[in-house]
Chain A
């Protein structure tokens, strides 16, 4: 059961600011999401051991430099940034 307190805590951790209305609908949504994901626990897996990476191991990369992306491409999603930086304007209340 998801409570309003759970949502408030999660919102705080995620730096989200929700109105009362948004909180109520988030409780409903989250209950649905968890219920949906919980379906999987109904499966009887017997003694089979498994994890979320299918028992795979050691996919390692050699330590070889490849050229990085151009700065303008890196900053393209943030309207070009400011002076080469990602830019976060002072938060105004």
Chain B
């Protein structure tokens, strides 16, 4: 029998506000243990939480950017559980009135992954296990999170990966989170079940907790899907349980079963008042949203005539896309700029991480200056390319490599004159060309380029050389 995967994701995203959700301690990643703490975030009795305005605004931004409706009346709830990472023995979260609901993210195939809800909550502290002892650092405790919960719409690990990548990019574009999975500012819980293809009923699901890399997430999903299919094929039954993925063996293991399922005894957080957002405020936030990745890709393809592949590889990294937007100011054909980015600039970036941080020595203004010289035909593309590589290496501006003299354009008469000189000085190349060796033409063009320091257009030069040869 053929089986189908049914999966839904719960994604935790750490918001990049300056302060924690309920106190004014900083949210910076790392730092010496327990140095970003106060009586509120270590849960001392008698303290009162006070909600950070910016957390509400960021969550609404995230909701609007993922096509959600906003609950104008919302509130916080207590989720009770006893574990050392949570000093109050309850997490302040949202239960039945999340800030956002009923959204979706559209995949490239056009399929929509529906988002059931987005709610705000506090992150827990970090536990370090050493020889059976536990060390607790509450720097992360109280850092604001949004949890984005999808409907069980995902049917393959590829769809899950695409959904997470799209979500990650949207959150980065609207600036609510850096979504660094390796630093834990984005983590996914994956719910998985299988069912015979064509069946409408859901199978029993398991949940894999805390995936912090896309590669491991897809591997874990594949493993878990196959494990469940094998179990069913052999007459067994899938148990509802919470699993942990073991990276070294590529397998999953049980953390707790159904009988140990948490009973969180949610109730309204009495220390925090109702969150009442006005619809005008929501509209103002909607208007202030920056351009989203899908809109940028569309603009690059339709308005700038950039290929889909190139548009996607620029938009994939917010830093690069922002750089591109700045570098095209006053440029008529932005393709010149995108070609330099994907050609010369990408050639100096060795991996995904370097592209993501995009720490290069050339500023957008400097690239803009270079592209304007190309567009006004003051220098040709070849010279611009080699100059850009030098700029990337040294961090110096265009003017350090191209002099005023270089930029003086060469008149048509002067070009023809130099072409004639090329033909006269290279009789062998001309002979070769005339006997059918097309490549010999390159020698002649190269001569002209050398004479003009690459200031002329290669195609135009070729035309002039051919005319000269014809007239011999």
List residues of chain A with CB under 8 Å of any chain B CB.
Answer: 9, 13-15, 51-53, 55-66, 68-69, 71, 74-75, 77, 81-90
B390 interface residue (CB < 8 Å to A): no
Q: A69-B39, A89-B133 are in contact. Are A53 and B51 (CB under 8 A)?
A: no
Tell me whether B131 and A65 are in contact (CB under 8 A): no
Q: What is the predominant secondary structure among interface residues of chain A facing chain B?
A: loop
Tell me whether B135 and A58 are in contact (CB under 8 A): no
Tell me the smallest distance from the CB of A22 to a CB of chain B, in Å: 18
| Apart from the given pairs A15-B82, A85-B34, 15 other A-B contacts in the complex at a CB distance below 8 Å | A55-B274, A56-B273, A57-B273, A57-B274, A59-B273, A63-B18, A63-B55, A64-B18, A64-B24, A65-B19, A68-B36, A69-B37, A74-B38, A84-B137, A86-B138
Q: A66-B24, A68-B36 are in contact. Are A82 and B135 (CB under 8 A)?
A: yes
Name the B residues within 8 Å of A82 (CB-CB): 135
A69 to B139, CA, bound (A): 11
Tell me the smallest distance from the CB of B304 to a CB of chain A, in Å: 37
The contact size tier of chain B is: 35 or more
A86 and chain B: residue at smallest CB distance: B136
Name the A residues within 8 Å of B135 (CB-CB): 82-83, 85-88
A9 to B131, CA, bound (A): 30
Tell me the smallest distance from the CB of A79 to a CB of chain B, in Å: 14
B25 interface residue (CB < 8 Å to A): yes
B278 and chain A: residue at smallest CB distance: A58
Tell me the smallest distance from the CB of A80 to a CB of chain B, in Å: 11
Interface residues as binary, B30-53 with A (CB distance below 8 Å gives 1, 0 otherwise)? 001111111100101000001111
Q: What is the predominant secondary structure among interface residues of chain B facing chain A?
A: loop
Tell me whether B34 and A71 are in contact (CB under 8 A): yes
Tell me whether A90 and B131 are in contact (CB under 8 A): yes
A9 to B128, CA, bound (A): 29
Name the A residues within 8 Å of B273 (CB-CB): 53, 56-59
Tell me whether A56 and B274 are in contact (CB under 8 A): yes
Tell me whether B37 and A85 are in contact (CB under 8 A): no
Tell me the smallest distance from the CB of B95 to a CB of chain A, in Å: 14
Name the A residues within 8 Å of B26 (CB-CB): 65, 68
Name the contact of A63 in the complex, choosing from B37, B54, B134 (C-beta under 8 A): B54
Q: A60-B52, A61-B52 are in contact. Are A88 and B134 (CB under 8 A)?
A: yes
Name the B residues within 8 Å of A51 (CB-CB): 268
Near A by CB (< 8 A), chain B positions 255-277 give 263, 265, 268, 270, 272-276
B51 and chain A: residue at smallest CB distance: A60
B17 interface residue (CB < 8 Å to A): yes
Tell me the smallest distance from the CB of B78 to a CB of chain A, in Å: 12
Q: Which 6 A-B pairs have the closest CB atoms?
A: A90-B132, A66-B24, A85-B135, A63-B54, A86-B136, A56-B273
